[in-house]
Chains A and B, each alone.
Chain A
Amino acid sequence: MLAYILRRLLYALPILIGVNLITFALFFVVNSPDDMARMQLGVKRVTPEAIQKWKAERGYDKPLVWNSAAAGAAQATDTIFFQKSLRMFSFDFGRAEDGRDIAREIKSRMAPSLAVAVPTFILGLFVTISFALLLVFFRATYLDFAGVVFCVAMMSISGLFYIIGGQWLVSKVWHLVPISGYAPGLDGAKFLILPVIISVIAGIGASTRMYRTIFLEEVGREYVRTARALGLSELAVLFRHVLRNALIPILTGVVVVIPTLFMGSLVIESFFGIPGLGSYTIDAIRAQDFAVVRAMVFIGSLLYIVGLLLTDLSYTWVDPRVRLE
């Protein structure tokens, strides 16, 4: 087991290096630091000195990959690639445009993101799986058909509509919860209820339909017929047999997103003013803060790779036939 995990981690390394190369190419090769400086300082009327100063402040005045002016190891280390890209492997992301340390900022913003994402994830999973099981219980009836139509309609509505409509109805008309904001600890509950409920509602359509398809496929299997032939009630068949056997395809989609919950949701956080990583990213995108976007890309892919590993491990937990060698 341990050997397997170690090997998988080693496999992950080339992928991370690949991600690193892609971001490096995107941020430094497609556009030279000069272009970015001109963009940040305003395209017109910008002096070469101002560009030099902007680059020096951010450490972009070094050569891209090879510094022939330096001596010894510094030829490879005193470059943009080493300083800005390879340093990320040690979680050193440098500073944002406002001068703050990105790594520290990320650490302090994880909690608000998780406060929204974890309840959303658990509640969403519970609601959609129960709903899908309900539809499967009533399969091939008008109730099932109505449920599917409902799901397709829910899927077809833009997520922005749920947010804008929910904020308007619950906060502006009913005055039940504050429209946006955040507070740590239990005080924050009143801020979190609405974003969590809205995210769950926005996800109901697509997930329920997917789980329903998975369950329907299992229901057609022979072991289900055997279970019924043995006289088990339909509910017992669904919960004890179908649900357990459908766990593998469900886990494939679910476990991989668990680590990425840290990243938060860009849209939800920015609409509800939650100071998490999602709103950090969106602020960086709007302010064209390239260092922050680069750091978030790196962390996002790292978490995704961890998610893939967890998915494999979770298979051994739900399916005793799977052995990791």
Chain B
Amino acid sequence: MTELQIVLLWSDGLFFLLIGVALAGGLWARRHEHLCASWRRVGQSPIGMAAATVLLVFLLVGLLDSLHYRAPLPAQDGKPTGHAVEVTSALDALLSGIRSRTEKTYSAPLATHLFAKESLENDQGRDFPRLRHGGSHLADQLDGHEADIVLTTLQGLGLGLVIWLPAAGLLLLARRRSPQLAWNAVSVTLLAVALLAGPALLLSQGYHVLGTDKVGQDVLYLTLKSIRTGLLIGTLTTLIMLPAAVVLGIVAGYLGGWVDDLIQYLYTTLNSIPGVLLIAASVLMMQVVIDTHPQWFATAAERADARLLALCAILGITSWTSLCRLLRGETLKLRELDYVQAARAFGVSQWRIMARHILPNVMHIVMITIVMEFSSLVLAEAVLSYLDIGVDPNTVSFGTMINNARLELARDPMVWWSLAAAFSFMLVLVLAANLFADVVRDAFDPRVAK
């Protein structure tokens, strides 16, 4: 038995790094009372806590999908034979059931028959053929099909409830320890998630809960895979642009003079190019680079990953200007304040003033920008993939799902489930992010009256 070969894609590494930075930031905030107070305000808001719970569920799926490995191939004559070319993730392993149960082509959610008519064997004319997996446990008793679905759903609801109860108990304990936080909102949100996931889990054993797509892949599986792409684009882009925006913004505002002129010129120039066009031009060029250097990438997953990262970098280049301008303006205000003047009078060096006195006092702007950017980036990914300048066509994302399903709208009856699944998952993710962003902004923005 050979070991799994762990694969750490660049995006996985950066994703873990980001989570590490977030955790470290949390620990750091614990030791500073004013930051604690702001976060406590977030925690007191039921909307904020509910949105955070939904985001954490998405994050969990994304994390599971970021633990990549290459499975060992079956050994021949007791000798190891190496590893599979395909890179799989922990999420793939968990969902191996619905991942491997593919059909021939489209089938509606919970259907037992294929979506299109086909010539049947034995000259039985043309009819909707049975699915290979959807409802196959029913054998020929298709009359009980609806009853079976209802029964399984009820069982699933029960299962969801059973899973939820211990979590709710833990939350009750948490409420006793810190009663001012909105634990009830978390509890209710978790109940909703559990009541959706339970039936989905049980039904997916025998059916395709959200149908199948053109090549017969389960749509539920695809949507869960899309979450990672969405999260990565929403977070890595900000991570990539952050250092440049923060350093340049503060330096321009604090030093002034020709440095300020130069940095202003830089961001006005970048800003004046319409965003979509700059992204399009950069992505076209990146495609040429990737296509003319196939030797750089060992596996298709690595190439898709490089393309995803490059897209994040490009989106970052086009979006750092607004944060940079905000930080410059804020620094201009801060540098005239008494405590900065005092530090200067004491002979503290410029760089030290910027790092110790300016930076901590503009961090709330950075924080607010990060959470506000996230949702717009997730939405932008879908549009860019539609314009063919998004992620690699083989990367599963909300954008590629919508793009593939779009052409089937002209069919009659319509193939709606792929689109519906992608749009509703995206809506939940973006809505949660927007609500959370609002709560964070209200908690951290000093201008908002407390």
Contact = CB atoms under 8 A, between A and B. Distances in A.
Interface of A: 14-15, 18-19, 22-23, 26-27, 30-31, 35-36, 38-39, 43, 152-153, 155-161, 164, 167-168, 172, 260, 263, 266-267, 270, 281-282, 285-286, 288, 290, 293-294, 296-297, 300-301, 304-305, 308
A293 B284 contact: yes
Contacts of A290: 284
B319 to A, nearest CB: 16
15 contacts: A19-B273, A35-B288, A43-B292, A155-B375, A157-B423, A157-B427, A158-B423, A158-B426, A159-B383, A160-B382, A160-B402, A167-B409, A168-B409, A297-B281, A308-B272
A304 B268 CA distance: 10
Contacts of A167: 409
Given A26-B282, A266-B387, A297-B277, A155 B288 contact: no
Interface in B273-297: 273-274, 276-278, 280-282, 284-285, 287-289, 291-292
Contacts of A23: 281
Contacts of B431: 152-153, 156
A26 B281 contact: yes
B427 A267 contact: no
A293 B281 contact: yes
Tell me whether chain B's interface is mostly helix, strand or loop, or mixed. Answer: helix
Contacts of A285: 280, 284, 387-389
Nearest to B414: A168
Given A19-B269, A156-B431, A285-B284, A31 B289 contact: yes
A308 B388 CA distance: 30
B201 to A, nearest CB: 26
B40 interface: no
Interface in B376-392: 379, 382-383, 386-389
Nearest to A29: B285
Contact of A156 (B268, B389, B434): B434
B406 A297 contact: no
B265 interface: yes
B438 interface: yes
A30 B288 CA distance: 9
B194 interface: no
A156 B423 CA distance: 10
Contact of B409 (A19, A22, A164): A164
A301 to B, nearest CB: 4
Contacts of A26: 281-282, 285
Contacts of A15: 265, 268-269, 272
A35 B269 contact: no
Contacts of B398: 158
Contacts of B402: 158, 160, 164
B430 interface: yes
A281 B277 contact: yes
Interface string B426-439: 11001100110010
Contacts of B98: none
Interface string B238-277: 0000000000000000000000000001001111111011
Given A267-B383, A288-B287, 17 more contacts: A15-B269, A26-B281, A31-B285, A31-B289, A158-B382, A158-B383, A159-B383, A160-B402, A161-B423, A164-B402, A263-B274, A270-B387, A281-B277, A285-B388, A290-B284, A293-B284, A300-B273
B440 interface: no
B277 A293 contact: yes
B120 to A, nearest CB: 31
Tell me whether chain A's interface is mostly helix, strand or loop, or mixed. Answer: helix
A152 B285 contact: no
A30 B289 contact: yes
A35 B419 contact: no
B441 to A, nearest CB: 11
Given A152-B435, A160-B402, A164-B419, A39 B292 contact: yes
A35 B292 contact: yes
A217 to B, nearest CB: 9
Contacts of A281: 277, 280
A19 B406 contact: no
Contacts of B269: 15, 18-19, 22
Contacts of A30: 285, 289
B292 A288 contact: no
Contacts of A27: 281, 285
A308 B278 CA distance: 19
B281 to A, nearest CB: 5
Contacts of B434: 152, 155-156
A301 B287 CA distance: 24
Nearest to B447: A217
B265 to A, nearest CB: 7
Between B269, B388, B389, B438, the greatest number of chain A beta carbons within 10 A of the residue's beta carbon is seen for B269
A263 B386 CA distance: 19
10 shortest A-B CB distances, which residue pairs?
Answer: A18-B269, A300-B274, A156-B431, A301-B272, A156-B430, A304-B272, A31-B288, A297-B277, A285-B280, A39-B288
Contacts of A160: 382-383, 386, 402, 423
A151 B69 CA distance: 42
A27 B389 CA distance: 16
A45 B211 CA distance: 42
A118 B291 CA distance: 40
Nearest to B292: A35
